[in-house]
Amino acid sequence: MLLANLQASGDGDDSHWHLEDCHDSHDEQFDVSGTALHHIGDANVYDFSFFLFKGHLSLPCILYAPGDGPNSGLSVFSSGKFKPVDLHGNGMHSNKGYILLESKVHRVYDPSFPDHSTIECVSHKKEMVNGKEKEVMYVKVQGKEYPVDVKSTLDGGLVGGGITSFYDFSITKNVLAMMLIALILGWIFIGMARKYQRNDGKAPSGIQGFFEPLFEFIKDDVAVPMIGHKYLKFMPYLMAIFFFILFLNLFGQIPFLGNANVTGNIGFTIVLAVITFLITNFNGNKDYWKHILWMPGIPAWVKLILTPIEIVGLFLKPFTLFVRLFANITAGHIVILSFVSLIFLLGNSGESVAGGYGGAVVSTLLTLFMMCIELLVAFIQAFIFTILSASYIGAAVEEHH
Amino acid sequence: MLLAVVGNLAVIGAALAVIGAGIGVGYIGGKAMEGISRQPEAMGDIRANMLIMAALIEGIALIAIILSFFISAAV
């Protein structure tokens, strides 16, 4: 399947297809924010390129549309049905009422939408939906315009815009990256554990030389000072989140492997913070809850004021945990993409050659500098997440002096 | 190259948040330098704690930036 999707450029006339805008509003300006948001977002197709070698992996789409409608219920198909896909991730064909726009699957609710049809153009319109003004996309197929629904997000379309009507459970780029990194980490650490069992007492060799300092650093400087003598119970969790976040941050920085930005996805970081929250509160002993709800040692009227503040703090601490990770990684990616877009802006989208080359020199230096900072940020953010989780767990299991 | 000026008040809010982060992290850096100059053998400990504190303060400033993204997208 992988070999069937590898293509050199110039593969018949379908590969030069490009989805046009319906209203012919060809503003010559390069859309920086749209490009940046498209590149850091999730995608239902996996495009990776390595100098001249282009690869395109069609990931399976698992979609569920509740309620009644032309394509309600579970639909499972490969996103190869939307092929050919142009450079912006728009698929030419529709399949079962679903279309691929900007690398994400969208749904057309209209029952009269013809199946397996060719999309001619797309347009964006602002209209009032449920009393709020949202931007809705329309596709024109066989001369008729149909409104397009986006996948449902738990915020009710707050950030995505548009009408939400189906749930997207597909194996997307981020899910594939997570599974790949989890397998790589499992292979590395299980191999290392077996090696330690075999060479008991001998000096470390091979890849142990790289991971052992990191491991000892987390154990001696994070787990033991923060948690105390009960650290062994929580060590697996701390190790897991440290290495998982570190490897995912680093993987999202590699531009060749499709830029699978997992830690910059707010859903992923929310889940990590929720797991930390659950582990902290399920292991809290009586002293911990007493300190939150009815802190001893202060007069009664101060306790009444302090309890709501402490309860808010209980939820606020994991909140800052995940927003910090998400915002750092996303901000870094947006800055790097803005520097790369500088080439297009200075070269006036291909019109000015001198501007393009000068812009390329400036942009490459700036991007190199920014990527070094991003490397540092990847390590620091993984470490901060781990040490703060350890500190919250330590506060929960701390015994009375 | 004509670039239109678009945006809303959320953008100004995000930029103001960065001022706070700049002042805070600069203060930490200054105090860390002072601490290292007073006791050069504690350089490793001071450096580690400085990085941790800087990340915590930047976290708060980045919360403001992300909220400004959400607010400008929701309006």
Residue range A323-330: mean pLDDT, rounded = 90
Q: Which two tokens stand for residue A124?
A: 């964006």
Mutation target vs A (from B5, B62, B70; most A CBs, 10 A cutoff): B62
Q: Which of A17-31, A103-117, A161-175 has the lowest mean pLDDT?
A: A17-31
Residues A105 and A238 in one domain: no
Residue range B37-47: mean pLDDT, rounded = 90
Residues A180 and A112 in one domain: no
pLDDT of amino acid A279: 92
Contact A132, A159 (CB under 8 A): no
Of A29, A331, A346, the CB nearest to B65: A331
Is the Cβ of B55 closer than 8 Å to some Cβ of chain A?
yes
Query: In the listed set A119, A141, A171, which residue is the last one of a domain according to the structure?
Result: A171
Contact A296, A401 (CB under 8 A): no
Residues A307 and A359 in one domain: yes
Q: Which CATH number fits domain B9-74: 1.20.20.10, 1.10.10.10, 1.10.3080.10, 1.10.760.10?
A: 1.20.20.10
Residue boundaries of the structural domains of chain B: 9-74
Q: Give dist(CA B4, CA A102) in Å, integer.
A: 25
User: Pick from A76, A80, A73, A72: which is nearest to A109 by CA?
Assistant: A72
Q: How far is A323 from chain B (nearest CA, A)?
A: 6
Residues A8 and A144 in one domain: yes
Q: Give dist(CA A334, CA A347) in Å, integer.
A: 20
Residues A101 and A227 in one domain: no
Quick check: A11 pLDDT over 50?
A: no
The 10s digit of each residue's pLDDT in A90-131 is 777 777 778 887 777 887 777 777 777 777 777 777 766 666
Phi, psi of A8 (to 5 degrees): -85, 160
pLDDT of amino acid A153: 64
Find the residue in A nearest to B49 (Cα): A384
Residues A166 and A196 in one domain: no
**DSSP of A143-206:** TEEEEEEEEP-TTSSTTT-SEEEEEE----HHHHHHHHHHHHHHHHHHHHHHHHHHTTTSPP-T
Is the Cβ of B6 closer than 8 Å to some Cβ of chain A?
no
Q: Give dist(CA A207, CA A211) in Å, integer.
A: 7
Question: What are the chain B neighbours of A159 within 8 Å (beta carbons)?
Answer: 69-70, 73-74
The 10s digit of each residue's pLDDT in A200-248 is 777 777 777 888 888 888 888 888 888 888 888 899 999 999 999 999 9
Quick check: A395 pLDDT over 80?
A: yes
Q: Give dist(CA A378, CA A332) in Å, integer.
A: 10
Identify the domain containing residue A329 by its residue range. Answer: 176-397
Give the number of other CB atoms < 10 A from CB of residue A184: 12
- ∠ CA B20-B22-B24, nearest 5°, is 70
Residues A188 and A151 in one domain: no
Q: Which value does ipTM take for this structure?
A: 0.81
Residues A119 and A202 in one domain: no
Contacts (Cβ under 8 Å, ≥6 apart) of A179: none
Identify the burial level of A297 via C-beta atoms within 10 angstroms of its C-beta, where 0-12 means exposed, 13-18 middle and 19 or more buried. Answer: exposed
Q: Give dist(CA A116, CA A122) in Å, integer.
A: 17
Residues A156 and A194 in one domain: no
The 10s digit of each residue's pLDDT in A61-76 is 888 777 766 677 777 8
Give the number of other CB atoms < 10 A from CB of residue B57: 17
**DSSP of A337-379:** HHHHHHHHHHTGGGT-HHHHHHHHHHHHHHHHHHHHHHHHHHH
Contacts (Cβ under 8 Å, ≥6 apart) of A397: A227, A228, A230, A283, A284, A285, A288
Q: What DSSP designation does A92 have?
A: S
Residues A193 and A129 in one domain: no
Q: Give dist(CA A392, CA A94) in Å, integer.
A: 49
Quick one: pLDDT band at residue A385, thresholds 50, 70, 90?
Answer: very high
Average pLDDT, chain A: 80
Q: How many structural domains does chain A have? A: 2
Q: How many CB pairs under 8 A join A and B?
A: 48
pLDDT of amino acid A6: 42
Q: What is the pTM of this model?
A: 0.84
Asked if omega into A308 is within 30° of 0 (cis), the reply is no
Identify the burial level of B65 via C-beta atoms within 10 angstroms of its C-beta, where 0-12 means exposed, 13-18 middle and 19 or more buried. Answer: buried
CA A178 from centroid of its chain's CA atoms: 10
Query: In the listed set A147, A171, A195, which residue is the last one of a domain according to the structure?
Result: A171
Quick check: A9 pLDDT over 60?
A: no
Inspect the interface and report whether the beta carbons of A330 and B66 lie closer than 8 Å: yes
Residues A154 and A232 in one domain: no
**Ordered alpha helix ranges (H), A207-299:** 208-218, 224-227, 231-253, 266-282, 286-293
Residue range A363-373: mean pLDDT, rounded = 91
pLDDT of amino acid A80: 76
Query: In the listed set A171, A193, A215, which residue is the last one of a domain according to the structure?
Result: A171
